[in-house]
């Protein structure tokens, strides 16, 4: 947490130690949900933090509904992972409840579909290649890059997975940050589930919405298993699909680790 009061799932990606004992530097990487609700004070916090790049993974429809508020001087980078929000987190609790079925696995399966597209979709692959391009540009000590989607959990979560793996973190460390979303987004998640309860949602609907608005180890594991099956692992995926060569990995570690 860096002092932003009105952002959802807002946190600094720092302090994690890699397999060589190096840690992610402070004041370089931020991840969050959308920036549409930020106050003037929040904007100043980001400005003081040296925010240089705001990378928005959302679709045009999501951005039109809730545009980012970006500090003066920061570069806004639109970099959509999907053509539309496959995670459904831009929908209201009522819309989510209406969309669910009698299938208790509806929400989980919907998220698996989204993660399938994150790994195999050409648009997603192009977006994550661009993400790494900007990570490499963010090479000055007084510069910070923020990456986000609507809830900051899936498109953003997998960006964090790719980045932390490139920086040499082990699976347990990567999973720790990925699952931290459930804690960092607790007010958002509780609000969504509270609205479902208020409208008399049954247990199946409640579970479906919970699966849609939170993260689970099953989601990240599915993504990793897909990369294993189709590409021979995340190392090959980063190199062959996202273009993260050994030279780029060396440069990334120089920029972000100490």
- Provide the pLDDT confidence category of residue 150 given band limits of 50, 70 and 90: very high
Domain count, the chain: 1
Q: What's the mean pLDDT in 225-243?
A: 98
Cα separation, 255 vs 133, whole angstroms: 13
- Residue 2 lies inside a defined structural domain of this protein: no
Give the per-residue pLDDT at 1. 63
The pLDDT tens digits of the residues spanning 49-76 come to 999 999 999 999 999 999 999 999 999 9
CATH code of 93's domain: 3.90.190.10
- Residue 1 lies inside a defined structural domain of this protein: no
Residue 86, pLDDT above cutoff 70: no
> What is the overall mean pLDDT for the chain?
92
Please tell me which residue, 41 or 104, carries the higher pLDDT value.
41
The pLDDT tens digits of the residues spanning 170-199 come to 999 999 999 999 999 999 899 889 988 887
Cα separation, 220 vs 205, whole angstroms: 23
- Residue 83 lies inside a defined structural domain of this protein: yes
Please tell me which residue, 256 or 7, carries the higher pLDDT value.
256
Contact, 112 vs 222, CB < 8 A?
yes
Listed residue (111, 107, 63, 106) closest to 87, CA to CA: 111
Cα separation, 136 vs 163, whole angstroms: 11
- Residue 5 lies inside a defined structural domain of this protein: no
- Residue 4 lies inside a defined structural domain of this protein: no
- Residue 33 lies inside a defined structural domain of this protein: yes
Q: 51 forms bridges with which residues in the sheet?
A: 144
Q: How many CB atoms lie within 10 A of CB 1?
A: 9
The pLDDT tens digits of the residues spanning 102-138 come to 677 888 999 999 999 999 999 999 999 999 999 999 9
Give the per-residue pLDDT at 198. 86
Residue 18, pLDDT above cutoff 90: yes
- Residue 99 lies inside a defined structural domain of this protein: yes
Listed residue (161, 156, 196, 155) closest to 175, CA to CA: 161
Q: Which domain holds residue 45?
A: 11-256
Cα separation, 142 vs 22, whole angstroms: 20
Residue 101, pLDDT above cutoff 60: no
Cα separation, 96 vs 5, whole angstroms: 26
Cα separation, 217 vs 128, whole angstroms: 21
Listed residue (188, 169, 139) closest to 16, CA to CA: 169
Q: How many CB atoms lie within 10 A of CB 95?
A: 10
- Residue 6 lies inside a defined structural domain of this protein: no
Contact, 36 vs 11, CB < 8 A?
no
Residue 90, pLDDT above cutoff 60: no
Residue 99, pLDDT above cutoff 80: no
């Amino acid at each position: 947490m860096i002092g932003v009061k009105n952002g959802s799932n807002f946190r600094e990606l720092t302090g994690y130690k890699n397999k060589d004992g190096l840690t992610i530097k402070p004041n370089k990487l931020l991840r969050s949900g959308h920036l549409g609700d930020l106050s003037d004070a929040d904007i100043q916090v980001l400005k003081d933090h040296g925010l240089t790049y705001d990378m928005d993974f959302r679709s045009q429809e999501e951005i039109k509904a809730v545009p980012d508020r970006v500090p003066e001087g920061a570069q806004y980078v639109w970099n959509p992972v999907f053509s539309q929000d496959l995670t459904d987190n831009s929908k209201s609790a009522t819309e989510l409840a209406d969309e669910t079925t009698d299938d208790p696995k509806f929400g989980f399966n919907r998220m698996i579909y989204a993660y399938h597209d994150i790994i195999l979709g050409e648009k997603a692959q192009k977006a994550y290649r661009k993400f790494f391009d900007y990570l490499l540009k963010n090479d000055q000590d007084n510069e910070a890059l923020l990456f986000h989607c609507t809830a900051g959990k899936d498109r953003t979560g997998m960006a964090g997975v790719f980045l932390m793996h490139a920086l040499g973190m082990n699976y347990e460390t990567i999973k720790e940050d990925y699952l931290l979303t459930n804690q960092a987004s607790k007010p958002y998640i509780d609000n969504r589930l509270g609205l479902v309860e208020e409208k008399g949602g049954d247990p199946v609907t409640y579970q479906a919405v919970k699966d849609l608005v939170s993260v689970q180890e099953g989601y990240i594991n599915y993504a990793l298993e897909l990369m294993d099956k189709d590409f021979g692992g995340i190392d090959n995926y980063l190199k062959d699909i996202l273009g993260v060569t050994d030279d780029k990995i060396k440069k990334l570690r120089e920029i972000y680790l100490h």
